[in-house]
Amino acid sequence: MSLSIEALRMAPADLPATLREVVEYRKSGLSLNHVVGCPLDCAYCIRHVFDNYDMKRPHLVMDDEAAVAALTTHWAFRPHRTPIQIFNRATDPFLPRVKEHLHRTLELLDGQGLTNPVLVISRWRVDREDVKRMERLTSLKLTVLVTWSGIDDDRIEPIDGAVAEKSLATLATDAVRTKRILYWRPIIAGINDCDDVIGRARELARLADATVFTGLFHRDQIRAHMRSIGVPDLYDSAPRRKIMPRLVERNILDGFGDQPIFRKTSCAVAFAHGIADYNGHLGIESICDICPKRQVDICAAAHAEPSRERIAALAREAGLATGTIEIANGRILVDDSTEQQRYFIQHATGFQVHDRSHPHLPGRHGRAEEGWE
C-alpha cells in the first residue's frame, strides 16, 4: 500500500461534531485525537461509529500545541495520574506525517515533566527512527500497543499482518524505556481463533513486554459495512460491548499455557511497567485469575477502598448525583452515569466503577452476552 507523505490538510468544515471534540474520556484514559482520517480500511474499524470511515486521507483538526492544551486543561485531567491515549479513535498514529504529530505531542507532554501512562495503538510501521525518538522521552510512561489479528481475509483486514510483526520486532530490538504490547485483536470466532493463529500469537508474544487479547465491537454500523463488502454476519447480535465467546477465550488461555496474557489493556500496561493497574481490576477477582502472582501482588499493595467522602467529591466534580452511590463487592456502584463520569472516578481512585444499568456479570469480564449463554 502506497501512502502519501504530503503535509496534513486542515479538517473540513463539515467534520462531524463528535470528531471536532479532540479530547474524549475512554476506559483506557483521556483520548486525544486531533488528527482524523485513515487509509488502512480495516472493516471492523470503530470509525464507522463516528461517521468517518470514508475519510481516507488524514486531516488535522488543530495544531499539536492547542491539542495538548485542550488535554491538560480538560476538567478530568490529573497530572501524573490520568492515563492518556493518542490518536486511537480516527487514524493510525504511525502513518506518514501523522507520526510527526504523534512525536510532537509526546514531546510536548514529556516536556512538562508529566509521568502519566500514555498508550499509542498502531498496526502500521514503527521504524527504528520512531523508536529512537520515543526513547528520548524522560517522563511519560509510554506504551506502544502493536495491533495484530492473524486475520487472513482481505475484505476484513487488507493490511498484511507482517507489517505489525515487523513493528513489534523493531520495538523488541531497539526499545528499552518504551514498553511494547502485542495487542491481539479483534479475535472473531471462526475467523482467527484456530490453533495455528493461537500458536503464532504465542510466538509473537515472546517479543512483547505483555500480551492482550480482546474481541470484536460488532456495532450496527460495522455489521452493515461488513455486509456491504460481502462478509456474512460474524455474530447474531450487535451489542454495546465487545464479543468474546467463552469457548474462544478458553482455547486461547489453554494455548498460551503458562505464558502471561491479559484480558484487559490496563492490566498489560501495568505489567509492562511494573505498576499497579490504574483501572483497579483487582476488585473483580475473576479478571485477575490469569495474572502472574508478582503483578497481583503489586496491584494488591496499591488497591484500597476509597472513602465515601472522596467518592462523593469526585462524583460532584464529574456532575454525577451522589444519592445512590455505594461500594460493594470491590466496586463503586452508581446510577445514570456516562462513561466519562465513571472512568474519571475509576482512574482517580484506582477502583472499579460500574453503573447498575450495565452490570458486569460474574466470569464474563465486562463482555457481551453472546457466546456466554
| Residue that is last in its domain, among 220, 254, 275 | 275
- Average pLDDT over the chain reads 94
pLDDT tens across 320-362, in order? 999 999 999 889 999 999 989 999 999 999 999 999 998 877 7
Residue 80 belongs to some domain of the structure: yes
pLDDT over threshold 60, residue 239? yes
> Nearest CA to 15 among 90, 84, 110?
90
According to the model, what pLDDT value does residue 3 have? 46
pLDDT over threshold 70, residue 171? yes
Residue 268 belongs to some domain of the structure: yes
According to the model, what pLDDT value does residue 6 have? 60
According to the model, what pLDDT value does residue 5 have? 45
Residue 38 belongs to some domain of the structure: yes
Q: Phi then psi for 328, rounded to 5 degrees? A: -155, 135
| Residue that is last in its domain, among 230, 260, 275 | 275
Residue 363 belongs to some domain of the structure: no
Residue 298 belongs to some domain of the structure: no
According to the model, what pLDDT value does residue 371 have? 80
pLDDT tens across 254-290, in order? 999 999 999 999 999 999 999 999 999 998 878 899 9
According to the model, what pLDDT value does residue 242 have? 94
Whether residue 148 is found in the same domain as residue 64: yes
C-alpha cell at 104: 510532537
DSSP letter at 140 equals S
Which residues neighbour 307 within 8 Å (Cβ) at sequence distance 6 or greater?
A: none
Whether residue 88 is found in the same domain as residue 222: yes
pLDDT over threshold 50, residue 1? no
C-alpha cell at 364: 464474563
Residue 270 belongs to some domain of the structure: yes
Which residues neighbour 249 within 8 Å (Cβ) at sequence distance 6 or greater?
A: 213, 263
pTM: 0.95
Q: What is the CATH number of the domain that holds 124?
A: 3.20.20.70
Whether residue 59 is found in the same domain as residue 191: yes
> Nearest CA to 135 among 170, 176, 165, 163?
176
Where do the H-state alpha helices sit in the chain? Answer: 17-20, 64-72, 98-111, 128-135, 161-174, 195-205, 220-228, 246-256, 265-273, 293-302, 308-318, 339-349
Whether residue 115 is found in the same domain as residue 233: yes
DSSP letter at 8 equals P
Which of these ranges, 22-31, 121-130, 266-275, has the smallest mean pLDDT?
Answer: 22-31
According to the model, what pLDDT value does residue 26 have? 80
State yes or no: cis peptide before 16, omega within 30 of 0.
Answer: no
Decide if 56 contacts 38 (C-beta within 8 A).
Answer: yes
Which residues neighbour 50 within 8 Å (Cβ) at sequence distance 6 or greater?
A: 16, 18, 19, 89, 90
Which residues neighbour 313 within 8 Å (Cβ) at sequence distance 6 or greater?
A: none
Whether residue 260 is found in the same domain as residue 316: no
Whether residue 144 is found in the same domain as residue 266: yes
Residue 29 belongs to some domain of the structure: yes
State how many domains the chain has.
2
pLDDT tens across 188-232, in order? 999 999 999 999 999 999 999 999 999 999 999 999 999 999 999
Q: What's the pLDDT band for 372 if we cut at 50, 70, 90?
A: confident
C-alpha cell at 305: 477502598
Domain that holds residue 27: 9-275
Residue type, 49: V
Residue 288 belongs to some domain of the structure: no
According to the model, what pLDDT value does residue 361 have? 74
Counting Cα atoms < 13 Å in the Cβ hemisphere of 87 gives 33
Query: For residue 142, what are the β-bridge partners?
Result: 118
According to the model, what pLDDT value does residue 284 have? 81
> Nearest CA to 287 among 184, 183, 362?
362
Whether residue 26 is found in the same domain as residue 88: yes
Whether residue 126 is found in the same domain as residue 238: yes
Helix (H) or strand (E) holding 23, with range, is strand 23-26
Whether residue 198 is found in the same domain as residue 342: no
Decide if 34 contacts 64 (C-beta within 8 A).
Answer: yes
According to the model, what pLDDT value does residue 27 have? 74
Q: What's the pLDDT band for 366 if we cut at 50, 70, 90?
A: confident
Whether residue 249 is found in the same domain as residue 319: no
According to the model, what pLDDT value does residue 289 have? 92
Whether residue 330 is found in the same domain as residue 246: no
According to the model, what pLDDT value does residue 292 have? 96
> Nearest CA to 116 among 178, 29, 34, 179?
29
3-state SS of 56-75 is CCCEECCCHHHHHHHHHCCC
Q: Distance between alpha carbon 24 and the CA centroid of its chain, in Å?
A: 13
| Residue that is last in its domain, among 275, 295, 318 | 275
Whether residue 142 is found in the same domain as residue 27: yes
